[in-house]
Amino acid sequence: MSLLVGKDLKEQQKINELELKINKEKQKLDKKLTRQKILLGAFLIDTLEKNKAQGLKEYVAKTLPEYLTRATDRDLLKSLVENLGGAMPSDEKEKEQEEQ
């Protein structure tokens, strides 16, 4: 019996090692995706600030407020939207529109 138990323990240990390896790879991928998003965001902000792409400022000023669903995100990006010439709707206005 002890030989079987030892074999089961080794198999379980191998499974645990593989799961750990999978989790590490997932973390690497998550970090890579986050870095891609940060770099893309930095690129877009630079493009917006220097007005390098015709119509991009207007598009972002108009559509970004619609894209943001959380109040904390709207608060965070309010000054950016306003600097682009847009307006961030208040939560009260949004609630009124939803009720209608």
pLDDT tens-digit map of 42-77: 999 999 999 999 999 999 999 999 999 999 999 999
Residues 60 and 97 in one domain: yes
Query: Does a structural domain hold residue 48?
Result: no
Residues 31 and 59 in one domain: no
Query: Does a structural domain hold residue 46?
Result: no
Counted domains in the chain: 2
Contact 83, 57 (CB under 8 A): no
For helices 56-67 and 71-83, give the axis angle rounded to 10 degrees.
160
Domain coverage including residue 83: 54-100
The pLDDT value given to residue 13: 94
**Sign of the alpha-carbon torsion through 57, 75, 97, 68:** positive
Query: Does a structural domain hold residue 28?
Result: yes
b/e for 54-73, b at 16 or more Cβ within 10 A?
eeebeebbeebbeebeeeee
- pLDDT tens-digit series, residues 17-44: 999 999 999 999 999 999 999 999 999 9
